[in-house]
Amino acid sequence: MAPRKKKTAESTAPKSEANAYIAGAGTVVEQQVSETLKANFMPYAMSVIVSRAIPEIDGFKPSHRKLLYTMYTMGLLNGGTIKSANIVGRTMQLNPHGDAAIYDTMVRLSEGHAALLHPFVRSKGSFGKAYSRDMQCAASRYTEAKLAPISAELFADIDKDTVDFVDNYDATMKEPTLFPVTFPTVLVNANMGIAAGMASSICPFNLEEVCKTTIALIKDDEADIMDTLLAPDFPIGGQLLYVKNTMRSIYETGRGGFKVRGVYTYDKASNCIEITEIPPTTTTEAIIEKVVELAKAKKITEINDIRDETDLKGLKIAIDLKRGTDPEKLMNRLFKLTTLQDTFSCNFNILIAGTPKVMGIKEILTEWIAFRFECIRRRVYFALNKAKERLHLLKGLSKILLDIDKAIKIVRETEEEKEVVPNLMIGFGIDEIQAEYVAEIKLRHLNREYILKRLKDVETLEAEIADMEDILKSRSRVNKIMVKELEEVIKKYGQPRKTVIIYDAPANDEDEDEPVDESPVHFFFTRDGYFKKITPQSLRMSGEQKLKEGDEIILAEEGTNADELLFFTNKCQCYKAKAVDFGDGKASLLGDYIPAKLGMEDGETTLAMVRTRDYKGILLFVFENGRVSKVDLSAYYTKTNRKKLIGAFCDKFTLHSIVPLKEDGEVLLTSSNGRMLLLHSGALTTKTTRNNNGVAVMTQKKGQRVFNVEVYAEGRLQKPHRYRTKTLPAAGSFASADEQAEQISLI
């Protein structure tokens, strides 16, 4: 379509003023949306990914790096603290995105905020707390800061060409592209970021464990990292529920999740529970609000009072119990119903040479080793060149030693200053650099003693040069330097684990003698995967069900909050959930989107929902090719609290529907060719494996398929015997004239 043309400012302006306008300015040009996104959104998205949200191999995002480097250039590794506002103002020379964003970055990096295992900023004043939503930091004009001692490891040899430098935004200063960190900070301190279309979530690990694991990989690239890297370690502590296979999967793929729970003590004298550590994904306010909500809903009745007693000594949530309450049982229920036990989701997405990449621990450390290896080589090469330059000067000085009087005579008899260096070059056979060095020697130093002292450095320099050249040729020597530096970091900054690892942790299931919520509810499940749980009272008062455009309800059942729900997906997986885990909804709301609620994989959608209480009954998996698989519902029961079952049904054929039955009964299958078949599930053998191929039940010719399945209700067919068969598979029978109209309506 040709673009519409409008009169531009240039065309309407007087000819004398036309030259003041840009050619084509104001013209409306039609453009495809895809082209607009490609031209405008994609550069923005890449900028967010590369320059803002995703950390690089040194463990820092650009905002972190700009702030810390500014503090380094201000000399804040030594001396006392200075006002945070001063630091923020100076940082804007590298990071012109506003003082609020810079100060927020400093707060997170500070020890006062308690967000990092090893904070890089030493703080003075109120910097808020990572575990509190309401405890905010003071304004930058009131607080003070400097670099923490461990920050020295970030800038070691940064002035020795170990990393590249680039211009800042206005080309008035230089800033490093990376820090030559002496240990893998990318794994030691937590780092999270949300970019455009991707995110990063890196959990922290104990510094000593990370360094020992790195050393083990340097010595043997086939080393098992799980031997030295036990588990993540959080600054706030907590207890990590360790599952070996889950942790190994996270280590290998860089994705996954693990559970962390809070730590509490029980004071018998005051009948009070004191929570002193919580998971890193929550806050004290969120926990207290949830407990209050549960108490109001009568789901928790053992608590008299709950309050936040956090002070300068640290975090504390106090819970006063009613007389006779078992604190251990209560805490198990709180772990289950609140964020006192929560899942930390990992997504080890890191920029490698400007490209985002999700990596496992071993691959991350391998990349860091390669990065650090190059830093050390560049440092050695820098020192080598400096040593060679020094040696070259001293060799020129040694020639002066042969005749100091001659050197003095040349300088004294040279008429013009600019001729001094050329005359020294001619007189002693030295080059311009050596002659310049000699010419700059003070008169008081032109004596044999001074020159001999300088020449003593020649042998030392020659030995150092030979040693450095050998280092550059030997990978093993560079590795030894790296190992030595890591061992020094462990010695200086290593500290005990803060997060306790709980091996073989028991499931947090409610005890049998605890009350079970039997209140009735109505379940609604739609084709697009939305789920609603509505109480009878709310349903009576509500109007029409709200649905997404084009969506429809495929299941509406009555049940209770004690029921369990099985959601089957297009990837042949089954996700388990409890009805009580879903909040009471309303007909006027869309409900919970199950793929998001249960954390399904990318591209995974729900096909069906099955409600059960005791896992008694059977499931019929009907495939479009006419095969049917009969599986006992108990095959989906698990003693542990597993949320996902793989291989839930056969993935070799296209699934049409899942039919749950309390006991064997008849199911009516209708083919696209108009034939119908009444199948009694008792004719099928119950399989022990969930993903079995089933058996052929209804034969289908080429181009035909099963298109309707329903549980047969007495009276549905006038002559049901016509559609029954004694042998399987069978083609079924065409609908009689009396049933033709209903058959057509189904099609």
Q: Assign residue 239 a region (left: φ > 0; alpha: ψ between -120 and 50; beta: otherwise).
A: beta
Cα-based distances in Å from 244 to 256, 262, 501, 504, 509? 12, 20, 11, 9, 20
Enumerate residues 6+ apart whose C-beta is below 8 A from 29: 3
Question: Taking a C-beta distance cutoff of 8 angstroms, is the pair 180, 375 a contact?
Answer: yes
**Residue 575 bridge partners (DSSP):** 567, 644
Looking up tokens 């930091």 gives: 137
- Residue partners of 506: CB distance under 8 A and separation at least 6: none
Catalytic residue among 142, 169, 242, 593: 142
Helix (H) / strand (E) containing 132? none
CB 566 within 8 A of CB 598: no
CA dihedral for 675, 678, 684, 689, sign (positive or negative) = positive
Give the pair of three-digit tokens for residue 648.
């839930």
Tell me the residue type at 16: S
Instruction: For residue 264, indicate whether it is catalytic.
Output: no
CA–CA distances in Å: residue 318 to residues 321, 439, 503: 10, 78, 27
Query: From CA 211, how far away is CA 226, in angstroms rounded?
Result: 13
Residue environment code for 535-571, b if the CB has 16+ CB neighbours within 10 A, otherwise e: beebbeeeeebebeeeeeeeeeeebbbebbbbbbbee
Q: Are 732 and 677 in contact (CB under 8 A)?
A: yes
DSSP 8-state symbol, 445: G
3-state secondary structure of 712: coil
Three-state DSSP at 182 gives coil
The amino acid that residue 17 corresponds to is: E
Is 453 exposed, middle or buried, given 0-12, 13-18 or 19+ CB atoms closer than 10 A?
A: exposed
Residue pair 629/692 in contact (Cβ under 8 Å)? The answer is: yes
Q: What is the distance of C-alpha 608 from the center of its chain?
A: 30
CB burial of residue 207 (10 Å; 0-12, 13-18, 19+): buried
Question: Burial level of 53, CB count in 10 A (0-12/13-18/19+)?
Answer: buried
Torsion over CA: 76, 80, 86, 88 (sign): positive
- Residue 471 backbone phi and psi in degrees, to 5: -65, -45
CB neighbour list of residue 328: distance below 8 Å, 6 or more residues apart? none
> Active-site residues: which are they?
142
